[in-house]
Amino acid sequence: MILNIYKPPTWTSFNVVKKIKIITKEKKVGHGGTLDPFAEGVLMIGTNIDTKKLSNISRCNKTYIATIKLGIHTNSFDCDGKIIKTNEVPILNEVIIKSVLQSFIGPYKHLPPMYSAKKKNGVRLYNYARNNIIVERDPIKTQIEEISFISFDKDKIKFSVKCSSGTYIRSLAVDISKKLKTIGHLVELIRTDVGEFSINDSLSLKKFEEKWKFTKT
């Protein structure tokens, strides 16, 4: 069984897997493509033999709606992290922001955040970060297929991006801020698509539980 579940903010991807396991009583449940706790949106879930399909699904392009807050940098590149630097936000407008966003279309080489599951010498980067150890990281090469301006309000930029698997939107937020001659971090992230799976067809945990109970009666 492959499920398109809407992960709510504050929940970890593992929390969602655990909840699905409780609802369905299936022995084997997994997810494809982790979403950070503060993020929300499409989380693909597989049960039993269909968990084997998740690796292919997670390799699909993904689309997000992201919001950057300028002028503040955090150690995790997102709103869950500790503020480590503040800076002035330059005078910006829609034309400048659109130009910077468009410059990211194509191959995208970026560093993974220290607070990530990437490994260095067999150790997860977040384990180094939790011990206040910063290690040299190898750049990741991904692809930005599409990126579009949505809105700008004082110190917040909202945009949509379609990218290849493995792209850290937190790193993209930091890199966009740098190109705008300031600093920034991600404060909102909504995954709207994973391959052919859309947020429009995504089920909340509550809806899924109701549907599951109905089909079993």
Q: For 86, phi and psi rounded to 5 degrees?
A: -125, 155
Per-residue tens of pLDDT for the chain, all 217 residues: 999 999 999 999 999 999 999 999 999 999 998 899 999 999 999 999 999 999 999 999 999 999 999 999 999 999 999 999 999 999 999 999 999 999 999 999 999 888 888 888 888 888 988 888 888 888 999 999 999 999 999 899 999 999 999 999 999 999 999 999 999 999 999 999 999 999 999 999 999 999 998 886 6
Q: What is the pLDDT of residue 131?
A: 86
What CA dihedral angle connects 191, 197, 200 and 205, to 10 degrees? -80
Q: In Å, how far are 30, 68, 131 from 158, measured between CA atoms?
A: 31, 7, 33
Domains 2-59+195-215 and 62-191 equal at CATH topology level = yes
Q: What is the pLDDT of residues 25-56, one digit of tens each?
A: 999 999 998 899 999 999 999 999 999 999 99
Per-residue H/E/C for the chain: CEEEEEECCCCCHHHHHHHHHHHHCCCCEEEECCCCCCCEEEEEEEEHHHHHHHHHHHCCCEEEEEEEEECEEECCCECCCCEEEECCCCCCCHHHHHHHHHCCCEEEEECCCCCCCCEECCEEHHHHHHCCCCCCCCCEEEEEEEEEEEEEECCEEEEEEEECCCCCHHHHHHHHHHHCCCCEEEEEEEEEEECCEEHHHCECHHHHHHHHHHHCC
Catalytic residue among 36, 78, 175, 193: 36
For domain 2-59+195-215, give its CATH number from 3.50.50.60, 3.90.420.10, 3.40.50.300, 3.30.2350.10: 3.30.2350.10
Contact 56, 25 (CB under 8 A): no
Compute how many other C-beta atoms are within 10 angstroms of the C-beta atom of residue 113: 23
Q: What is the pLDDT of residue 123?
A: 85
Residue 175 among the catalytic residues: no
Question: What is the pLDDT at residue 58?
Answer: 92
pLDDT at 197: 96
Q: Domain segments of the chain: what residues?
A: 2-59+195-215, 62-191
Helices 94-102 and 169-179 cross at an angle (nearest 10°) of 130
Q: What are phi and psi of 140, to 5 degrees?
A: -100, 140
pLDDT for the residue numbered 217: 61
Topology of domain 62-191, CATH: Pseudouridine synthase (3.30.2350)
With CA atoms as reference, report the closest residue to 3 among 12, 11, 13: 13
Q: What's the pTM value of the predicted model, to 2 decimals?
A: 0.93
Q: pLDDT at position 117, please?
A: 82
Backbone angles phi, psi at 96, to 5 degrees: -60, -45
Whole-number Å distance between alpha carbons of 163 and 165: 7
Which pLDDT does position 48 carry in this prediction? Answer: 92
